[in-house]
Structure 1
Amino acid sequence: MTVSETDITEDLIRDLLRERYPDLADRPLKLGALGWDNQVWRLGDDLAVRLPWATERADALLRTEHAWLPLLAPRLPLRIPVPQRLGEPSARFPRPWLVTTWVPGEPADRAPATRGADAADALAAFLTALHRPAPDGVPDGRGRVGALSEAAESFIQGLTSAAERGLISDPDAVRAVWEDAVAAPDWAGPRLWLHGDLHPANILTATGTFCGVIDFGDLCAGDPAVDLAAAWILLPDGAADRFHEAYRPSPDAATLRRARGWAVLRALGGIHIGDAGVHGRPGGKATWGPPAQASLRRLVASLHH
């Protein structure tokens, strides 16, 4: 079941904490963010409470984070929200919820990285550390993080809608990037750990570079190209090459082609979410539009680089 925005209040969260974790119930509490799947409330200086509210899939995503993030966090060079305690469904709140560590920083959709070389190095170090073979039991990347060809319908719908709304100026150039990506050979390597959702609202910045990564609900295993798309989505102009040089092992040409395809999908999604006509949807923000437009521009240019 879904929970409406107004159903989750400070009083509700305090009741849940008193019932399940009374040692945390008297800490200062304030709303941190409204995402597609979860609300995040800051709890004191160093913790946060994540509660699912807008989609039914959020319950499974929270349980995935709770199961795996404590194992991944020690090897990652950027801070991530580490689950500390799990709240099970109850009569007071019918869905699971998490207490995690709080990660300081500003979301990159509001405070983009400006120090290109430092940001490229930070992102490459993070993904190099994350992209290791995943054990059995980690969910496969499917749908928006599966094989690129599985997303063809989403691409066509996104491109058509963006063109009809006048949100992109050269749909043929965008289609060329996509077609080149889909024509690339599939990933033949091991199932690697993936964040799966590296868009600007899920990356935190401080002093012009990246300092944290949040929202691991789409954590899965599969093709690293899914995450390598972030080079065109998150970095300022001219920094993608630095990222590709710093990431290990160096991505081959086919992987970079697929990564551009995933980046096109993310950019089209960001453009739609940022459009004035739809940004009022839960989790949608006007701040998503400008970085998505910049991404498409970089991607079109990169095809002939």
Structure 2
Amino acid sequence: MAASLNFPRLKQLTLRGVIMSEDALHSMLSGCPVLESLFLNGIVGVGCLRISSPTIRSIGFRVRFNRYIVQNPTLLQELVIENAPSLQRLLHYDREFAPSLQRLLHYDGEIGLVTIRVMQAPILEILGILSPSISKLVLGTTVFQGMCAISLTTSMHTVKVLVLQSLGLNLDLVVDFLKCFPCVEKLYITSFTLKKSMKNAMSYNRLDPIACLELHLKKVVINNYCGRWPDDVGFAKFFVLNAKVLREMIFITSDNCDDKWMANQHIRLQLNNKASSGALFTFERRCLVPTFSLKADPFEWSGPREWHRMR
């Protein structure tokens, strides 16, 4: 019946836990000629979704599905943005995999490994969460394989908000993304610590400047910041010392943030040598949880917070 449905005035559509075929979903979407917002939460039966819409502004999806409801479900494996001239937000919400490191390194069938291909999205502004659950990200001729840059031949100058999730704070990985998105203004990073050091001692080459750090990056949020090991301190310090127009850097931590800890962070991060004279540094105890909303930045925190701020 889905194939015969038409919603000529529908602007927002959410499908949650729906079982349907690819043909049925594509037919249903073609019957929504003015659709602006689409959120797919754990749909089954659709392995590949292709989007070609002149009106769609926001796409959100979550692959994870309760395997006890449907045995051996066909989950979304590929999302292709063929032509979306109005698309501003592409939001990926599979974040539950992160606490289990083994499930990241050894795919067990419960977590969808998704390929995302963006062919035409000329005004895309918000992109994330990009994580190891995305096996391949193709942006024009630029390719990221498992979060690692294979080719960096296309720059997307429209993206202003970028959200990344990785195993450990890997500076090389993040810098590659910043080169691909040179006009990012807000950068959200969630890391899940590995025992192995990520060797975040990269020095900034002034002869090969990163446009984002020089001209655009105004806000950085690091979720799961520890501040006790050289790798995460070195990662954060790179932005402190090199982001020239930074206005705010937020460290979300589980530590107590007492006076002694804060003083130690001030020294280790070299805040006296910050590249942006007006930058504020905030240490908070909370959890970064994105919501699928239509506000300007869906990753902006609006709930209660316990925070300490330094200049």
User: TM-score band (shorter)?
Assistant: 0.3 to 0.5
**Greater share of residues in helix:** 1
TM-score (norm 1): 0.33
TM-score (norm 2): 0.33
Larger Rg belongs to: 2
**Greater share of residues in strand:** 2
Structure of greater relative contact order (alpha carbons < 8 Å, 6+ residues apart): 1
